[in-house]
């Protein structure tokens, strides 16, 4: 079975944290990169977390997973980022009580500048980089700008969690399984300004595929409560669990990376934050912005030509404006 395939090297940063704890098993088991793809799993975290990482290593060993060839815990980027095929950047500075957004950005610019530079220096030029740590879009842009020798197209940020939240809300509302909903879109920033758009989504109801608006039959809900539920879902989970989304975030990371590796189905698209250069929707170019995306042969393209009404346009522009503001603040820190 997996005898002939060369192992791939995958790093997860923030590897002692709770998202990683939900994520590592799925990666090591073969749910992401394929059932016959051996893996060398590199776990990177900050020095105080090394004892915790040792515990995570023990548990991964104790899972006795056939695809997992080696587990490497480290606090050094030159070890963590060497010869990588994939990098999942989960670790970031979380927002503390009373912290200004600007201070959060400043701390994260420093982290993602360093990680981008390390990717540039040590990783394969073909590495696929997924940024999860918030503010994910801007962190992703900083990492990419700090890694000039790695193509911009190789960097993406996670909006698949928002995408899955939106799909699931529609499915629950229509009383159908989650995979009966396809082609919802998350536009823009992974923040509360994101725009979950179902104008192009389809729902399979009793064997036939219908437009989401026709399946839901409640325009007021779709234009109001549905959007705010998806936008504010992360905060709702924190309020209830006293911890941020981990299980669902890990599942979304797996979906995102698996789609990069194996592609999207014919006629379907997903959401991910990508470099906006050359987009046909009038979004400012020098941003990482979430679009409807199709993937094939480890490359992506934005789905072009979707008609955008005035309601959607206003929301797409509002989230773009927030991203421009974040970028400009971050770039000022970057040049310091």
Q: Which residues are catalytic?
A: 190
* Residue 133 known to bind ligand: yes
108 appears as a binding residue in the annotation:
yes
User: Angle 41-47-52 (CA atoms, 0-180°, nearest 5)?
Assistant: 60
Give the 3-state secondary structure of residue 237: helix
**Alpha-carbon span 237 to 232, nearest angstrom:** 9
Q: Is 164 annotated as a binding residue?
A: no
95 is in an annotated binding site: yes
Q: CA 281, CA 294: separation in Å to the nearest integer? A: 16
Q: Which residues pair with 44 in a beta bridge?
A: 13, 74
| DSSP code at position 152 | G
How many helices (DSSP H) and strands (DSSP E) are in the chain?
12, 14
Does the annotation list 165 as a binding residue? yes
Q: Is 132 annotated in some ligand binding site?
A: yes
Token digits for 150?
Answer: 């790695």
Q: Which string of DSSP letters, residue by residue, matches 78-126?
A: HHHTTT-SEEEE----PPPTT--HHHHHHHHHHHHHHHHHHHHHHS-TT
What residues form the annotated binding site for substrate?
95, 101, 134, 165
What residues form the annotated binding site for NAD(+)?
45, 108, 132-134
What residues form the annotated binding site?
45, 95, 101, 108, 132-134, 165
């Amino acid at each position: 079975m997996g005898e002939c395939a060369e192992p791939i090297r995958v790093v997860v940063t923030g590897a002692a944290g709770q998202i990683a704890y939900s994520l590592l098993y799925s990666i090591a088991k073969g749910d992401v990169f394929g059932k016959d793809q051996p893996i060398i799993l590199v776990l990177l975290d900050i020095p105080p977390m090394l004892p915790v990482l040792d515990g995570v290593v023990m548990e991964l060993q104790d899972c006795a997973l056939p695809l997992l060839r080696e587990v490497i815990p480290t606090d050094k980027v030159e070890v963590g980022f060497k010869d990588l095929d994939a990098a999942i950047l989960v670790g970031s500075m979380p927002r503390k009580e009373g912290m200004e957004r600007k201070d959060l950005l400043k701390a994260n610019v420093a982290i993602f500048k360093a990680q981008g530079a390390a990717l540039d220096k040590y990783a394969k030029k073909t590495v696929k980089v997924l940024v999860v740590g918030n503010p994910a879009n801007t962190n992703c842009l900083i990492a990419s700008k700090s890694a000039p020798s790695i193509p911009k197209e190789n960097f993406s940020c996670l909006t698949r969690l928002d995408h899955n939240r939106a799909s699931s809300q529609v499915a629950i509302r229509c009383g159908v399984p989650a995979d009966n909903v396809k082609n919802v879109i998350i536009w823009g920033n992974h923040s509360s300004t994101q725009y979950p758009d179902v104008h192009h989504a389809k729902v399979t109801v009793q064997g036939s595929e219908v437009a989401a608006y026709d399946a839901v039959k409640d325009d007021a809900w779709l234009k109001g409560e549905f959007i705010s539920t998806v936008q504010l879902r992360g905060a709702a989970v924190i309020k209830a669990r006293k911890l941020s989304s981990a299980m669902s975030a890990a599942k979304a990371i797996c979906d995102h990376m698996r789609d990069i590796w194996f592609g999207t189905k014919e006629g379907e698209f997903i959401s991910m934050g990508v470099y906006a250069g050359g987009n046909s929707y009038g979004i400012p170019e020098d941003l990482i912005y979430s679009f409807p995306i199709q993937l094939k042969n480890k490359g992506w393209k934005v789905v072009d030509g979707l008609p955008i009404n005035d309601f959607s346009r206003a929301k797409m522009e509002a989230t773009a404006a927030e991203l421009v503001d974040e970028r400009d603040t971050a770039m000022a820190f970057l040049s310091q």
